[in-house]
């Protein structure tokens, strides 16, 4: 019997999101009455997704312990640690990266960095399996910009192909896919008609946001494919090179927003 246990973390937003995945050919533990639960085939995932604001770092490890207790597993059972690598909140990305590294070092297991944009695409597919295979993931990057990436789910291999990796653009400059697509993420709500992809999309899922459940499912496929890194090589993917705008940039962005 082959069993895989993977812990997934995401603090790229104002949520503290933790998931514990068990892939097992035998019967899994009984569903917890406390933690939300996802099951498909021989895969079961327990997760917590809590709005914690700026204090997610203090909630992260206690949430891990609670999920382990819910699933009847120990931290030492984990075969890998996946985490939302970004883009997202700079502080949140550093938190998830640091905790993933620390746990992986202690357990001597690999780390699986997962794009938060890919997590949005996976989340949209979880919410509605009938969406087009092409998914444009777009998140509000603040400063009047959008984080985006273009993905396609390949049913033949049961995994995503990245057609354009994570990028940063003004809402009106984000290129559109050349095939019917779904739009995932909160950029649609943040920018409305200023986002051309909103009217061009065949489906729009504003609720498909970074979450530890899709991070865990993506992480499992990456682990099985050998797409892991050593803990010391785990790093956030900020995408944006700077945190603050100059006064001139802020004034220009404000003027463009009012046009």
Confidence at residue 257, expressed as pLDDT on a 0 to 100 scale: 44
Confidence at residue 56, expressed as pLDDT on a 0 to 100 scale: 84
Task: Give 186-205 pLDDT, tens digit per residue.
Answer: 999 999 999 999 999 999 99
Task: Quote the mean pLDDT of the chain.
Answer: 91
Give me the percent of the chain exceeding a pLDDT of 90.
83
Q: Where are the domains of the chain?
A: 3-115+211-233, 117-205
Q: Is the pLDDT of residue 174 over 80?
A: yes
Number of Cβ atoms within 10 Å of the Cβ of 101: 19
Q: Is the pLDDT of residue 258 over 50?
A: no
- Higher pLDDT pick, 251 / 36: 36
Q: Which two tokens stand for residue 216?
A: 């865990």
| Homologous superfamily of domain range 3-115+211-233 | ATPase, nucleotide binding domain (3.30.420.40)
* Residues 129 and 158: beta-carbon distance below 8 Å: no
Does the domain at 117-205 match CATH 2.60.120.560? Answer given as no
Confidence at residue 24, expressed as pLDDT on a 0 to 100 scale: 87
Task: Give 202-227 pLDDT, tens digit per residue.
Answer: 999 999 999 999 999 999 999 999 99
* Residues 46 and 244: beta-carbon distance below 8 Å: no
Task: Give 228-243 pLDDT, tens digit per residue.
Answer: 999 999 999 999 975 4
Phi, psi dihedrals of residue 115, rounded to the nearest 5°: -65, 135
Confidence at residue 30, expressed as pLDDT on a 0 to 100 scale: 45
* Cα 7 versus chain centre, distance: 13
Confidence of residue 138 (pLDDT cuts 50, 70, 90): very high
CA dihedral for 137, 134, 42, 220, sign (positive or negative):
negative
- Higher pLDDT pick, 117 / 25: 117
Q: Distance between CA 177 and CA 174 in Å, rounded?
A: 10
Phi, psi dihedrals of residue 142, rounded to the nearest 5°: 60, -175
Q: Is the pLDDT of residue 31 over 90?
A: no
Q: Which two tokens stand for residue 100?
A: 């993933």
pTM of the model: 0.90
């Amino acid at each position: 019997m082959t069993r895989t246990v993977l812990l997934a973390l995401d603090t790229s937003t104002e949520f503290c999101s933790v998931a514990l995945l068990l892939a097992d050919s035998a019967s899994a533990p009984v569903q917890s009455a406390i933690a939300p639960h996802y099951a498909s085939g021989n895969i079961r995932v327990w997760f917590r997704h809590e709005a914690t604001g700026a204090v997610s770092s203090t909630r992260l490890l206690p949430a891990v312990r609670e999920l382990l207790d819910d699933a009847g597993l120990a931290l030492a059972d984990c075969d890998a640690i996946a985490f939302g690598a970004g883009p997202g909140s700079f502080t949140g990305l550093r938190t998830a990266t640091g905790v993933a590294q620390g746990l992986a070092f202690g357990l001597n297991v690999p780390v699986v960095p997962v794009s938060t944009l890919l997590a949005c695409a996976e989340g949209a597919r979880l919410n509605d399996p009938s969406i087009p295979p092409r998914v444009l993931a777009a998140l509000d990057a603040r400063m009047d910009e959008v984080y985006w990436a273009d993905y396609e789910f390949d049913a033949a291999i049961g995994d995503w192909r990245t057609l354009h990796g994570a990028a940063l653009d003004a809402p009106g400059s984000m290129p559109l896919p050349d095939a019917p697509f779904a739009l995932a993420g909160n950029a649609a709500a943040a920018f409305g008609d200023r986002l051309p992809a909103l009217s061009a999309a065949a489906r729009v899922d504003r609720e498909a946001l970074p979450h530890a459940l899709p991070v865990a499912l993506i992480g499992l496929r990456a682990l099985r494919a050998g797409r892991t890194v050593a803990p010391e090589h785990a790093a956030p993917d900020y995408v944006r090179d700077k945190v603050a705008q100059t006064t001139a940039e802020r004034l220009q962005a404000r003027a463009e927003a009012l046009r």
